[in-house]
Structure 1
Amino acid sequence: MSNKIQILPENLANKIAAGEVIQRPESAVKELLENAIDAEATRIEVLIKRAGKALIQVYDDGIGMSEEDVVVSIQKHATSKISTYEDLEAIKTLGFRGEALSSMAAVTQLEIRTERREDEIGTLVRIDESGSLVKEKGSFAKGTCVSLKNLFYNTPARRNFLKTDATELKHIIDTFNKASLGHPKIHFKFYNDDDLIFDYPAGTLENRIESIFAANMLDALIPVEEKTDYLDVHGFIGKPSLLKKSKGEQYLFLNSRYVISKQINHAVFSAFENFLEKGDYPFFILFIDIDPHHVDVNVHPSKLEVRFENEKEIYTFVVAVIKKSLGLYDLVPNMSFSDSPVQTEKLEQITFSKTEKDDFSDRPSFKEKGSSARTNFSDKEIDLLFSSLPDIETQGKSEPIDHPFQETRQREIVHTDAKYTRDLSEEFPFIIQLHNKYILSQIKTGLMIIDQHVAHERILYEKALKRLDADLPFSQQLLFPKTIELDPGRYQVLKEINTLLNKLGFDIKYSGKNTIVIVGVTDDIIAGSEEKVLLEIIDEYTDNQREKTLEERDNIAKSYSCHTAIKSGDKLSEREMRLLIDQLFATSMPYVCPHGRPIVIKISLDEFDRRFGRTS
C-alpha cells in the first residue's frame, strides 16, 4: 500500500512559494525597488513593457555584487541583510526574507547584470527556459540591473488571473510613487514601453511631493513634526479641504518603509475629529522613525503589515501630534461661488489656499477706540451668556507634546482669563446678527459668517469634556426642586449616565418607581427649562448610542452641548455676539461642531468684487 502523503518536487514547491511573494507585476517591482534602495543607490530606473507582463527591468547605481554573491542571491532564503536571530529582531533594511529573487526565478526568465564600483569587470547571471543557470563575465554599468521577462510564463493559470494592462500599470505606478516618496534623496525614473513617464530628481520631501502630486500641493498641506527619545513623527497632513471619499492617499512610512497600519490610520482619523463625515478619508504623508527593536515588520511576506510593541502609547502620541499640527493653522474654509446656474449654485471650498503657521489674523478683531489699555469683563458680563469660561488655550499657541512613554507627572490646571480682557465698548468694524441665526463680521480679507448655535455648541462641548475630566462638579441648586415621572426606558438610561451628569453639574435624586427629583442643574441651563433639557439629553444620548456607537464620555458631552446651547432664533446683543466669537476662537477646534457641521466660513472681497463685476 503506497503512502498518500508525499514531499512535493522542488520546482513545484518553488512555484507555490513564489505565489506568496510575487502575486502580480507590481509585487516584483516592489521587491526590486527595495533591493535597489538597500544597495545604497542614488539613482534608480524602472522600465516596464506591457504592464510588466513582458518585461520588468530595474537598474540601480548601488554597490553591486561579486560573482559569488550574485549566484547565491537567486537561491532560496539567500540574503545579505540578516544573519542571526538578533538581526531579525531589529530589521533596518527594506528586504530581509531572502525570498524575492528565488521566487522571481521560479516564475520568470530572470537576468541579473551587476558590477561593483571597485571591479573592472562584472557578472551576468541568467535563468533560461529550461531552468538552467547561465553565467557570463562582461563589462557593465556600475551597480545592478535585474530583468524579468514573461512573468508567469510557466504558470499560465496565474497569468490568466492578471487584470488588464491599464489596471496592472496603475498598481505598478502606485508602488513606484510610494518608494519615491519614502526616499526623496534618490533620483527615480520610470519608463513605460520606452517612454519616460516620471523623472523625480533627488531633493527634499517637499520637492518630491510637488513632483508626484502637484506644484501647489504644499499649499493644501500642514507640516507635522515632533521628536522624542522614543520615536519621531514628521511629514504632512492634508487640510480639511483635501478630504477624499475614497481610501488610497494615506501614506505611512515606518523607518522609511511603506507600511499599512490600521492603528495609525485610526489615530489620524481621530485627530481630525469632527472634520470627517462618514466616508471621508484625510490625506497624509507621515514618517515614523523608531528603534527597530520596538516594531515587528516580519508579519507577512509582503512586509506591508506592522506591529508595534507599545501600540496604545503610539496611538495616543500620534493623535496628540496631529491635533497639535491642526491647531497651529487657521482652517476656516475660504468659500467662493461656482459659476453654475442659480438654481444649483453652491458654495465651493478652495482646496489650495495657502495659510501660514500661527497666522490667525484673518479673524474678527476687537479694535480699541482710544487707549491701548484693556479692562477685564465683570462677572456679570461673563455670566451673561456662558456663565463660566472654558480654560482652553488659544489655537495659535504651540504646546509641547508629552513623551508617551515617560512616567506620568501631575499637572496643575491653569486658569487663564487674559484672553478675555477685551473692553466691550471697543470699536468693532462690523458685526450683525442675521435672522437671529448667523453672525456676520468683517475680517481682513472679507466677510466671516458664524452659525451661532453650533458655535456655542462647540464651546459647551469642550467645557463639558473639561468638567468630566476634572471631576469637580458645581451645581446651582433650584429654589423649587422639580419632580418628574419618567418612562421605564428613560429612567434606566438616566441611572446609567447619572455619574457623568453629576460631574457636569446635575444633582438628581431618585424617589419612588421611575420618579426623580431635579435638585440642582449646571449653570448653562436657562431657568425654567431644566426638565426639557434633561429629557432631550437622555433622548440624544440614547440615539447616539444606538446609531453612532460613541464612547460614553464623548456621547454625554455631545448630548449636553447640543441641548444647552443657544438656539437658532435666539436674539443676541452685540455684547453677547462678541463674547461668543471670543470664546469660539479660544476652543481647540473652532471650525466644526461636535457633530461635524461647519461653524464658520469666509467669503473674500475678491469674490464679492467678481459677483458685482468690479475690476479694481
Structure 2
Amino acid sequence: MAILPDFIANKIAAGEVVQRPASVLKELVENSLDAGAKNIDVYIKSAGKNLIQVVDDGKGMSALDAIKCIQRHATSKIKTVEDLDKILTYGFRGEALSSIAAVSRIEIRTEKYNDELGTSIKFDDETGLVTEKGSFAKGTSVSVKNLFYNTPARRNFLKGNSTELKHLIETFKRNALSQSDVAFKFYNDDELVFDYPAANNRNRIEDVIAENIYDAVVEVHEITDLIEITGCVAKPAYLRRSKGEQYLFINNRYVSSRIVNHAVFTAYENILERGDYPFFVLYLKLDPTKIDINVHPSKLEVKFDDEKTIHSLVNAVVRKGLGKYDLVPSIDLNRTDRNSDRLSYSQHKFTEKNDFSDRPVNNENTFTQKGKGIFSEAEIDLLFNSLDSQISKTTDNTSNQGPLAQTSIEVAHTSSEQIDLTSDKLSGESSFIVLLHNKYILSQIKSGLMIIDQHVAHERILYEKAIKSFESDIPFSQQLLFSEKIQFDPADYELLKEIEDFILKLGFTIKFLGRRTIEIIGVPSDVNIGSESDTLIEILKEFRKNQIEKQLEVRDNLAKSFSCKTAIKAGDKLTEHEMRLLVDQLFATSMPYVCPHGRPIVIKIQLSEFDKRFGRT
C-alpha cells in the first residue's frame, strides 16, 4: 500500500468539485462575491472548454495569498473549527482553486486597492508555477483555459457546446439572483449576452426571468424571530412542467432543499398534478448556526436543525401569499389591428384574505341583514337536504330533473363578520346570472363580468367534498330502492377490492358476490339517479388512467376521478337557482379559482374593457 502523490490526489479531489465548466464558473463567481465585488464580468469561449474568465472589482489578493490560493485547503474564510458552525461566506473549504488548477491551465491577475503593483501567477502541469509583478486592474481576474486538457477521459465526457453553455448560463443566473446589489455581465465568444445592473431583488428577478414575471407570480414576505422569507411563487395558472425553475437561496446562497420544495408544493394543496412544478424564487435568511451547508463539496445541499419548523413556516407563508390575491384571471380585449382581437391576461388584483366580495351577488335573499348568517333559514334547510323539492318548483312538469338535484351544499366559509355584506351595500344592486350554451355561467360582479365553467366548478366542489369524506371517515350513502349488479373484468374487480375502503368512505355501499360481480346497494348523494352503475365504471376507468399516466396517490386519485365523472357536464342545463347555489358552493371551497386538474374555473372581464370596446373612454 502506498500514499498517493499530491498531484494524483489533487486530480481525484478535483472530480468532486469540478464536474463540468459550470462547476468552475460557480466557484469563481462565489470567490468574487466573497471578495466584496460590486461588478463581475464573465467571459466564456467554446462553452467553457477553452476559456472561463471571471473579472471582478473585489478587494484583491496580496502576492503571498495569490500563490497560496491554488494550494489545497488554503482559505481565508475560516480559521477555527467553531467557524464551521457559522459560515456566512460562499467558499470555506479551500478546495475550489486547487481542484481547478489540477485539471486546467489557470492564470490569476490580482491587485489590491492600496498597492501600486499587482501579482500574476500561471500554473499548469507542464511549466508549474510562474509568478510576475505588474500593474493590473484593481480586483482579481481568474482565467481557466483548456479545461480537462490533462484528463482526456473527463473532457470526452463533456456534452456538446449547447448543453454546456446552457448549464453555464443557468449557473450565472443563479449567482445573479443571489446578489441583486452586484452588477453582472456575461460574454459568450466576445458577445455580450446578459447585462444585469445592480438592483433590488424584484428588479433582478424581472431582469433574469422575464420583464412581466410579476404578472404571473404572487409576492411573499414574512419576518419571524427564526426566519425571514421573501420572494415570489407562481400563480396556479402558471404552473410549469420543468423542475429547473425553482430557485431557493438561503442566506443568499443558492441551494437545493427537499424540505423547502415539499413545503412549497404542498402549499398549492390539490392544484398540482404529477409533473407540474410551481415556479418560485425564495430568499430565506436565518441564523447560520441553525443550518449545515458542509454536506457536499459543491455546497448545494443544506440541512436544518429543525426541519419540521422550517417546513411549517415556509408552507404557511406561501399559503398566506396565495390566499391574499384574487387569483381569477382577468381578460383584456386588446385591439391589435382593425380586423383582429387578442386575448391576454392582465395583472391579478390584490385582495384581503377571505375577501370574496368581487363575485356574483345572490339576489334570492341569500344575504340578509348584518349580523345574520350568510344563508336564510329556508336556504340552510335547502343546503342540507335534497334539492328535489326546490327544483320541482322551478322547473315545469315536462323538464328533466336538474343535474344538481342530489347535491348537498356546503355553507359558505366566510362569516358576516369577515365579509361585511350588509343590506345597505347590496340594496339596489341587481346581479343577473345566465347560462351560456349550457356550459358557462355569466354573472355581474363589482368589477365587471365573471364567467364560470360549470363543469370544473362543480368538479372543485365535489373534489373537496370527497377529500373531507376521506378525512372524516363518516360516509353518507343514499340507499337504492333497487340494488344493481355489475360484472367487471378481472383487473377492474381486483382494483375495486384494493380501493374498497376509499370507495366506501365516498358513500358507495357495495357487496362482492364472487365471479367478478358486485352489488351496488347505496351511492353518494351526488350520483345522478339511474346512472349509478355507469358512474362507478367511469370512476374506475379514470382512476386507472390517472394511475398509469400521473401515478397519483390513491386518495387524491380517487377524489379526482370521482369529482370528474360525477360533476355536471357541459350541456347540462341549470336553473337560475341551481346556478346561484353552484356559485355559493364554489366560493365556499378553499381554492375556487382552479380545478383539481389545474384548469381555471373562473375568469373576469373588467367593466373598463367594455367601456373601451364601446368607445366610452
TM-score (norm 2): 0.78
The change in CA–CA distance for 1:495 and 1:312 in structure 2 (over 3 A counts) is farther
- 1:138: Cα distance to partner? 5.8
The question of 1:41 aligning with 2:61 is answered no
- 1:156: Cα distance to partner? 5.9
RMSD of the alignment, in Å? 4.4
- Structure 2 residue matching 1:145: 3-state secondary structure: strand
- 1:286: Cα distance to partner? 1.6
Q: How does 1:216-615 map to 2 (within 5 A)?
A: 216-261=212-257, 264-265=260-261, 267-272=263-268, 280-292=276-288, 295-307=291-303, 318-335=314-331, 349-350=344-345, 353-358=347-352, 362-366=358-362, 373=369, 376-377=375-376, 378=378, 379-382=380-383, 383=385, 384=387, 385=404, 388-390=408-410, 393=413, 428-444=430-446, 446-476=448-478, 480=481, 482=483, 484=485, 486-487=487-488, 492-508=494-510, 521-526=523-528, 529-603=531-605
- 1:489: Cα distance to partner? 5.7
Is 2:356–2:587's contact at 8 Å kept on the other side of the alignment?
no
Is 1:111–1:124's contact at 8 Å kept on the other side of the alignment?
no
Q: Take 1:244 and 1:546, find their aligned partners in 2: how far apart are those partners? A: 21
Q: Take 1:508 and 1:417, find their aligned partners in 2: how far apart are those partners? A: 44
Q: Take 1:367 and 1:205, find their aligned partners in 2: how far apart are those partners? A: 46
After superposition, what is the alpha-carbon deviation per residue over 1:10-32, rounded to whole angstroms, capped at 9, x for unaligned?
Answer: 43443454344334433222111
The question of 1:126 aligning with 2:146 is answered no
Q: Take 2:437 and 2:526, find their aligned partners in 1: how far apart are those partners? A: 24
- 1:230: Cα distance to partner? 4.8
The question of 1:70 aligning with 2:78 is answered no
The question of 1:201 aligning with 2:197 is answered yes
Is 1:105–1:127's contact at 8 Å kept on the other side of the alignment?
no
- 1:327: Cα distance to partner? 2.7
- Opposite residue 44 of structure 1, the aligned amino acid is I
Is 2:274–2:551's contact at 8 Å kept on the other side of the alignment?
no
Q: Take 2:509 and 2:427, find their aligned partners in 1: how far apart are those partners? A: 38
The change in CA–CA distance for 1:214 and 1:555 in structure 2 (over 3 A counts) is closer
The change in CA–CA distance for 1:605 and 1:25 in structure 2 (over 3 A counts) is same
Q: Take 1:210 and 1:515, find their aligned partners in 2: how far apart are those partners? A: 60
Is 1:219–1:355's contact at 8 Å kept on the other side of the alignment?
no
- Structure 1 residue matching 2:577: 3-state secondary structure: helix
Is 1:21–1:27's contact at 8 Å kept on the other side of the alignment?
yes
The question of 1:100 aligning with 2:96 is answered yes
The change in CA–CA distance for 1:388 and 1:324 in structure 2 (over 3 A counts) is farther
The change in CA–CA distance for 1:42 and 1:367 in structure 2 (over 3 A counts) is farther
After superposition, what is the alpha-carbon deviation per residue over 1:546-586, rounded to whole angstroms, capped at 9, x for unaligned?
Answer: 44332122123223323443333332221221121122122
The change in CA–CA distance for 1:584 and 1:155 in structure 2 (over 3 A counts) is same
The change in CA–CA distance for 1:585 and 1:12 in structure 2 (over 3 A counts) is same
Q: Take 2:343 and 2:283, find their aligned partners in 1: how far apart are those partners? A: 32
- Mean Cα displacement is larger for which, 459-468 or 444-453? 444-453
- Opposite residue 482 of structure 1, the aligned amino acid is S
Q: How does 1:18-37 map to 2 (within 5 A)?
A: 18-37=14-33
> Please, which runs of 5 or more residues in structure 2 have no aligned partner?
388-403
- 1:285: Cα distance to partner? 0.9
- Opposite residue 382 of structure 2, the aligned amino acid is E
- 1:179: Cα distance to partner? 0.7
The change in CA–CA distance for 1:316 and 1:565 in structure 2 (over 3 A counts) is farther
State the identity %. Answer: 57
- Opposite residue 461 of structure 1, the aligned amino acid is Y
- Structure 2 residue matching 1:252: 3-state secondary structure: strand
The change in CA–CA distance for 1:550 and 1:111 in structure 2 (over 3 A counts) is closer
- Structure 2 residue matching 1:449: 3-state secondary structure: strand
Q: Take 2:103 and 2:215, find their aligned partners in 1: how far apart are those partners? A: 45
1:185 to 162, 181, 186: 181
Q: Take 1:517 and 1:170, find their aligned partners in 2: how far apart are those partners? A: 58
Q: Take 1:273 and 1:267, find their aligned partners in 2: how far apart are those partners? A: 10
